[in-house]
Amino acid sequence: MMKAFLIEKYKKAAVQAEVADPQPAADAVLVQIHAAGVNLLDAKIRDGEFKAFLPYKMPLILGHDMAGVVVRVGAKVRRFKAGDEVYARVPDFHLGTFAEMIAVKESALALKPRGLSMAEAASLPLVALTAWQALVQIAGLRAGQKVFIQAGSGGVGTIAIQLAKHIGAYVATTASGANAPWLKSLGADLVIDYKTQDFGTVLRDYDVVLHSQDAKVLETSLNVLRKGGRLVSITGPATPAAAKDLGAPWFLRPIIALLARGTLKKAQARGVTFDFLFMKANGAQLQDITALVEAGHIRPMVERVYPFAETNAAIAQVESGRVKGKVVISLR
């Protein structure tokens, strides 16, 4: 038996419970978790915000990010062995990193970057994969281009700034004035103080926008792109293409299309492209990120590490929005 934080119904706080140890399938790896990253997505899953797309069975152990040590591997696993230090953003429908152990598909795992603590490694997978899939996979960001990354001091923002700067882009971001020197040290060329400045009057002819704010900010963001530019949103609205890719039920797809219609029309009128990203677990991409971390191009930003017993307090801090970088839970 192992300890885990789980929910028994949506919109209820997680509770600590004793549950059976997971058993890895032939293509999976059993990992003893040393640290788990906390994301706003964990709170949204707890509150049922994605139950139309991701209808989880209860009770549900929460948690998407982890770092730990391989205990044993399934019969078909070839890339990992007992004793390996690994990290992952676990796949949808296989959550459960707020626990002492987890069985993870081999395809989602990567070797932990050398030189990082378990807490630092656990802070990276979801936010780093989000930045990678938005900027590299979808937007195809190139050296010499201009990218606007919203909310630079957040979990995704801190990693996206470093990734974009490594690629060779000119990076603009938004943050409080107090955080400007710190974000410039990460690679931001221009930091716009959202409390005193309107980015819509400062930025022009950008190639890429990584959008993570609300609908009002989204409309302004479309206007800072050059013709042919691309906006990738991680907060919506979901597009019909994304809904199909996520396997949304057929009866929801017309509703999703209706909600996205206005944004898609505005993008078309501006001569720009709008994409919605619901990131996915990907061990191969995470291994590429490992190489960047080990080369010194990306470093994790951990604001606070909570003990396992204070998991709900860690989730609450992330929900507050007052986090520089990431919050992590330590299990060892």
Write down the pLDDT at residue 319.
95
Beta bridge partners of 103: 30
- Range 48-59 average pLDDT: 89
Pick the residue with more confidence: 85 or 240? 85
pLDDT > 70 in the chain, percent: 100
Average pLDDT over residues 147-166: 97
Residues near 229 by Cβ (< 8 Å), separated by ≥ 6?
205, 206, 207, 208, 209, 272, 273
**What pLDDT is stored for residue 296 in this prediction?**
97
Which residue in 80, 99, 97, 103 sits closest to 19, CA to CA?
Answer: 99
Entry pTM: 0.97
pLDDT digits (tens, 9 = 90+) for 116-152: 999 999 999 999 999 999 999 999 999 999 999 999 9
60-102 pLDDT, tens digit per residue, is 999 999 999 999 999 999 999 999 999 999 999 999 999 999 9
pLDDT bucket at 314, cuts 50 / 70 / 90? very high
One-letter amino acid identity for 286? L
**Domains with residue ranges and CATH for the chain:** 2-124+300-330 (3.90.180.10), 127-276 (3.40.50.720)
Q: Report, as an integer, the average pLDDT of 293-297.
A: 98
Looking at residue 246, its pLDDT comes to: 77
Which pLDDT belongs to residue 52?
Answer: 81
Q: Tokens 């990082």 sit at which residue? A: 116
Average pLDDT across the chain, whole number: 96
d(CA 278, CA 255): 18
| Contact predicate 111/286, CB 8 Å | no
